[in-house]
Amino acid sequence: QVQLVESGGGLVQAGGSLRLSCAASGRTFGSYAMGWFRQAPGKEREFVAATTRSGGRTVYADSGKGRFTITRDNAKNMVYLQMNSLKPEDTAVYFCAARFGSSYYTSMSEYNTWGQGSQVTVSS
């Protein structure tokens, strides 16, 4: 089973960009589908983006379509979330998640491995 560590969060002005990184341990990273979720204060954790184990297919929540891009580098055991045109409503703790499987997955319950989260704050 992989272990996940996110990085790259921070404070950015509205309209700015951030790239989150998620480093995975283990030699079987290429067997895991990956996803990004976020949780704003007082709200439930929600789906942001997901990709298949090869990175060949991706899916996004409506809130991030056209602004966010999920990619992965299996040689480096990394998955990324590029976030552009950030809005104050994007402020949240962002989590990467992993599960063994051949598809992409958009529900929290479908993932069994989570990182500790990375804070993203977008100021207006």
Residue-wise pLDDT for 95-105, tens only, equals 999 999 999 99
pLDDT in tens, 60-90: 999 999 999 999 999 999 999 999 999 999 9
pLDDT for residue 1: 82
Question: What is residue 55's DSSP assignment?
Answer: S
* Chain position carrying tokens 């950030």: 86
Going 119 to 35 to 68 to 46, the CA torsion angle's sign is negative
102: exposed, middle or buried (C-beta count within 10 Å: 0-12, 13-18, 19+)? exposed
